[in-house]
Structure 1
Amino acid sequence: MSPYITALRAIVLREALRFVHQRERFLAALVRPLVWLLVFAAGFRAALGLSIQPPYQTYISYETYIVPGLCGMVLLFNAMQSSLSLVYDRETGAMRLLLTAPLPRAWLLFCKLLGATAIGILQVYAFLAIAALFGVDTTPSGYVAVLPALALAGLMLGALGLALSSLVRQLENFAGVMNFVIFPMFFLSSALYPLWKMAESSALLRNICAANPFTHAVELIRFALYAQWNGMAFLWVLLALGAFMALALWGYDPARGLVRSKG
């Protein structure tokens, strides 16, 4: 068997075992979006009117609108939690041992990223199943079409987490960094309200939301849930993935990030 495949299997299996042994992580991944769907959406339903806009063909409930954003929330929190484990692995020396393997650094980090993304996708489908039980569902083909969108969005957010973990020196500091990344990315996006609604109150905030990579990840998921293609969102997510992965590779360069963090 190719050493590349062996490394992929070993790293993905390690991520899966870590997830299985952390049951509270799975519950937390579902509780957060379900609170927004079942509690906050009930309060915002009357305050936020939603017009007909792609990919929707008719007026929709607020719960239906925020489901793609909540799918993105699941991927975002999973990416940050996976990155937290990277900081821990670096402090214990496991990450240094991994990167000394006789394989390209990019492949090893991609394997780590792939394992975390697969777990995030499973969490999203669990959330979609629960949302369907409460009457918030999509087209049958959408559940299949959304898989590539979830994979690309998960890889992009996971690459962001990799880049952040390469810059954080201590485990204790990562929680603060997560708060400065997760909440601005989530709230300054189209996850909870459309961009045209944001433009009514502030053109500047609308432009910030439009430049947010998480917005494009959410829109990619939103269109895919209705088996529709959003080329602009795909392009921006792909560009963000490349930029974040390049930053992660730079940060985990033994001549820079890992060695310097020990100094």
Structure 2
Amino acid sequence: MIASLIAIIAREALRFVHQRERFLAALVRPLVWLLVFAAGFRAALGLSIIPPYQTYITYETYIVPGLCGMILLFNGMQSSLSLVYDREMGSMRLLLTSPQPRWWLLFSKLIGSTAISILQVYAFLAIAALFGITLPAWGYVTVLPALLVAGLMLGALGLLLSSFIKQLENFAGVMNFVIFPMFFLSSALYPLWKMAESSELLHDICAANPFTHAVELIRFALYVDLNLPALGWTMLATALFTAAALWGYDPARGTMRRKT
């Protein structure tokens, strides 16, 4: 089982190395938001002192955890796209018919994609530091477990979606109806109290969004703090998404019965 885990992670790493544009896209997307979008909202959006911040902060500083979550979210969806591609090419069927337990193979895939996502997040944080976005030194260490938990949750969501996507052409619809609503209806770009000022319903939707809790978990971890409610909700969402994905890939009950 360890050998299969290493092999799947190595395959994910090789695929990532050979797709340099994937790495660049993962960095360009949040950097555009950080340098362009944030510049336009810096003066328009006021931020009060809210935990974990001890003083007033710039808008660029506020959205950094959300942009870290963006990298994890898009990479999780990219991983699901690769699963759909592997299924169409037949390599997914070969993988799932190996003697290893199906849940272990999917978990190995999840670990591999999450590890790549974390590397991309640290690369983004390094570039952000060059532009003056300063964070506590220990925050770069304490954020690692938060990134792991959040990455597993979003990777499990991608795994779940891949069990229902039949063709690559359908992935664009998933991008529009899953990724963007999940990102924009969260605390990644705006504090929840700002949402409440405009609409209580919108605030409640954002508060129920699992991505919001993943972002808040990363936000507090970057400032060497632990947000226990965010950790609990993120882990619960991870368990639910993983269980649903395993059901989806179960040939006896799930959708993979019709696809493989």
TM-score under structure 1 length normalisation: 0.97
Residues 195-234 of structure 1: pairs in structure 2 closer than 5 A: 195-234=192-231
Partner of 2:29: 32
Query: Is the 1:198–1:206 contact (alpha carbons within 8 Å) kept by the matching residues of 2?
Result: yes
* Alignment partners' CA distance in 2, 1:224 and 1:129: 16
Partner of 1:13: 10
Gaps of 5+ in 2: none
Partner of 1:73: 70
Gaps of 5+ in 1: none
Partner of 2:43: 46
* Alignment partners' CA distance in 1, 2:87 and 2:206: 33
* Alignment partners' CA distance in 2, 1:180 and 1:192: 18
* Alignment partners' CA distance in 2, 1:243 and 1:237: 10
1:58-112: CA deviations, max 9, x gaps? 0000000000000000000111011100000111111111111112211110100
Partner of 2:20: 23
Letter in 2 for 1:75: L
Query: Is the 1:116–1:158 contact (alpha carbons within 8 Å) kept by the matching residues of 2?
Result: yes
Letter in 2 for 1:80: M
Letter in 2 for 1:139: P
Partner of 1:186: 183
Q: Does 1:84 align with 2:81?
A: yes
| CA drift at 1:261 | 2.5
* Alignment partners' CA distance in 2, 1:124 and 1:137: 15
* Alignment partners' CA distance in 2, 1:179 and 1:126: 26
Partner of 1:106: 103
Q: Does 1:258 align with 2:250?
A: no
Letter in 1 for 2:50: Q
TM-score under structure 2 length normalisation: 0.98
Where has structure 1 moved over 2 Å in runs of 4 or more?
Answer: none
* Alignment partners' CA distance in 2, 1:104 and 1:234: 28
Match of 1:124 among 103, 121, 142: 121
Letter in 2 for 1:188: L
Letter in 1 for 2:242: M
* Alignment partners' CA distance in 2, 1:53 and 1:179: 31
Letter in 1 for 2:247: W
Match of 1:60 among 42, 57, 62: 57
SS, match of residue 167 in structure 1: coil
